[in-house]
Amino acid sequence: MSGKFITFEGGEGTGKSTQLKLLADVLASRKISAVRTKEPGGTEIGLELRRLLCCGDKDKFDGVAEALLYFADRRIHLTQKIWPALRDGNWVLSDRFADSTMAYQYYGYNKKLPKQALENLYQIAVGDFRPDLTFILDIDPQIGLARSFAKAAGMEVKETRFESRQLEFHQNLRRGFLEIAAAEPDRCVVLNADKSIEALHREIVQTVAERLGWE
What are the boundaries of each domain within the chain? 5-211
- The confidence score (pLDDT) of residue 206 equals 97
Q: How far apart are CA 215 and CA 212, in angstroms?
A: 8
Three-state helix/strand/coil letters over 61-122:
CCHHHHHHHHHHHHHHHHHHHHHHHHHCCCEEEEECCHHHHHHHHHHHCCCCCCHHHHHHHH
User: Which residue type does 205 have?
Assistant: V
- The confidence score (pLDDT) of residue 215 equals 60
Contacts of 129 (CB under 8 A, 6+ apart): 78, 83
Contact 12, 162 (CB under 8 A): yes
- The confidence score (pLDDT) of residue 56 equals 83
- The confidence score (pLDDT) of residue 149 equals 81
Which of 93, 113, 117 is closest to 39 using CA atoms? 93
Facing residues of 192 across strands?
138
Q: Are strands 5-10 and 91-95 parallel, antiparallel or unpaired?
A: parallel
- The confidence score (pLDDT) of residue 157 equals 61
Q: Quote the CATH superfamily of domain 5-211.
A: P-loop containing nucleotide triphosphate hydrolases (3.40.50.300)
Q: What is the pLDDT along the chain (215 residues), one digit of tens a residue?
A: 679 999 999 999 999 999 999 999 999 999 999 999 999 999 999 999 988 888 888 888 888 999 999 999 999 999 999 999 999 999 999 999 999 999 999 999 989 899 999 999 999 999 999 999 999 999 999 998 888 888 777 666 667 787 778 899 999 999 999 999 999 999 999 999 999 999 999 999 999 999 998 76
Q: How far apart are CA 101 and CA 63, in angstroms?
A: 10
Facing residues of 92 across strands?
5, 35
